Amino acid sequence: MKSLITLYLSLFFIQTTSIWGVYGEFAVDGRVLELNDSNIDAAISTFDYIFIDFYAPWCGHCKRLNPELDKAAPILAGLKNPVIIAKVNVDKYKSLIKKHDIDGYPTLKIFIHGIPTEYYGPRKFDQLVQYLKKFVAPDVTILNSNSGVAEFVEEAGIDFPVFIGFDVKESMISNLARKYKKKAWFSVAMDFSEDLMSVYDFDKVPALVAIQPMYSEASIFYGPFEENFLEDFIKQNLLPLAVPINEDTLRILKNEGRKIALTIVEDEISDGSKDLIKLLKAAASANRDLIFGYVGLKQFGDFVEAFEVSKKTQLPKMVVWDGDEEYSFVNGSEWIKEGDQGSQITRFLEGYKKGNVIQKRIGPSFTGFIKSLFGLGTLIMIIFIILLMAVFMIFTKDDEPTTLGPRQGAEGTSNLLSQSERGGDKED
């Protein structure tokens, strides 16, 4: 009941503080603006932040997006930096296809002061709101009090990591904040009390605190405050210490560079796996040259099969995967047995570093598999989504075009040339 009241109050607050009104020829009333070829330019120049859905009425992905945009529009118009949601039927106004470089339906773009950026992020309204908030936020937010820090963290939500530089000069992190803007929130805090130091668990300044709200993890960097060290710290903290492997995190890992110490378990959410994951986190913090990932046969069987794992295989099993077509076993320590699993992980890592490995190649079907991740049958997708949602909330999605194949990073985009939908809708 209390949450209902809060919801009601926050809706009320949004309604009363929004930019509702008439701007030139555009009425902003919390609904999605329907544009055409004669007013789209005016809309782009009227609003500082406008998100445009270039759609075709026959496209199924577009139809499914509509209710999400309807829900997001009033919330986004009520932000401190209001984002106007608009759509335009490019099947009707064909001249816009060339002009705005539309190569699939829907194509989503956010225009920030008239400059377009294509949007590849999630399309469920709540996440869309989070992502667009991130787009329009300043690169580095300046925080001037304890409550300012608390509000910033609260506002940031759980979809992205949060970096707070305590007594760190804005100029020290502004380049990197710009570079990683789409993947994390950045802030610097200048006025804060010692209480806050214990809340965030640092004992001297300057300190850059990285928080992974989704995984309840935090780490602290005390320097040296030089760009390359800072960048390493930021990159390492874009991911949690032990990364659950699923289709979202795979997209991020694809561009990572570090190899992945992959632990394959029977079931990610069993008690045994939880204990093992704790040990993996400890190993990860001591071995930053590798990424530590884990995956359950039960959760992601199709992926796990690539590593010669089937229902009959003894698990847990560890491999080092290059993120592409090669992986290696450590001779003699590929299984993690009952007992002291911590020392078995250590032995595995020592063996790997000594080069005591057996190289393997993943079959050619694997690359195909990774690509097909985005074209799996609806049923499998539903099972995935339910399982993944149950275990983790959806992890930070890469909002740039990924390397998984042309436009596969976009969630279902119909091909303009074929004028028909690609198979395997994933969003039902």
Annotated catalytic residues are 59, 62
Contacts of ligand NAG in 331-370 (CB under 6 A): 331-332, 358
Residue type, 204: K
Strands (E), 297-386: 317-321, 326-330, 357-361
Cβ 329 vs Cβ 357: under 8 Å: yes
User: Cβ of residue 36: shortest distance to ligand NAG, in angstroms?
Assistant: 4
Q: Can residue 36 be called a binding residue for ligand NAG (CB under 6 A)?
A: yes
Q: Can residue 46 be called a binding residue for ligand NAG (CB under 6 A)?
A: no
Q: 401 vs 116, 153, 394, 407, 409, CA distance in Å?
A: 15, 27, 18, 6, 6
- Phi, psi at residue 403, to the nearest 5°? -95, 15
- Phi, psi at residue 86, to the nearest 5°? -140, 165
User: Cβ of residue 272: shortest distance to ligand NAG, in angstroms?
Assistant: 27
Contacts of ligand NAG in 60-99 (CB under 6 A): none
> Which among 32-40, 231-239, 393-401, 416-424 is the span making contact with ligand NAG, rule CB under 6 A?
32-40
> Which among 36-44, 292-300, 388-396, 402-410 is the span making contact with ligand NAG, rule CB under 6 A?
36-44
User: Cβ of residue 26: shortest distance to ligand NAG, in angstroms?
Assistant: 8
Q: Could you tell me which residues are beta bridge partners of residue 54?
A: 88, 107
Near ligand NAG by CB under 6 A: residue from 39, 66, 285, 287: 39
Q: Could you tell me which residues are beta bridge partners of residue 143?
A: 189
Sign of CA dihedral 261, 264, 270, 276: negative
> Which among 33-41, 153-161, 180-188, 208-216 is the span making contact with ligand NAG, rule CB under 6 A?
33-41
What tokens does 222 get?
A: 């005390």
CB crowding 170-187: b at 16 or more within 10 Å, else e: bebbeebbeebbbbbbbb
Contacts of ligand NAG in 272-331 (CB under 6 A): 331
By beta-carbon proximity to ligand NAG, the closer residue of 39 and 346 is 39
User: Cβ of residue 39: shortest distance to ligand NAG, in angstroms?
Assistant: 5
Q: Can residue 38 be called a binding residue for ligand NAG (CB under 6 A)?
A: yes
**96 burial via Cβ count (<10 Å: 0-12, 13-18, 19+):** buried
Q: How far apart are CA 283 and CA 167, in angstroms?
A: 30
> Which among 35-43, 81-89, 289-297, 417-425 is the span making contact with ligand NAG, rule CB under 6 A?
35-43
Residues in contact with ligand NAG, counted by CB under 6 A, come to a total of: 6
Cβ 55 vs Cβ 62: under 8 Å: yes
By beta-carbon proximity to ligand NAG, the closer residue of 9 and 27 is 27
DSSP state of 362: -
User: Cβ of residue 94: shortest distance to ligand NAG, in angstroms?
Assistant: 13
Which DSSP helix (H) or strand (E) runs through 163?
strand 162-166
Which positions lie near ligand NAG, rule CB under 6 A? 36, 38-39, 331-332, 358
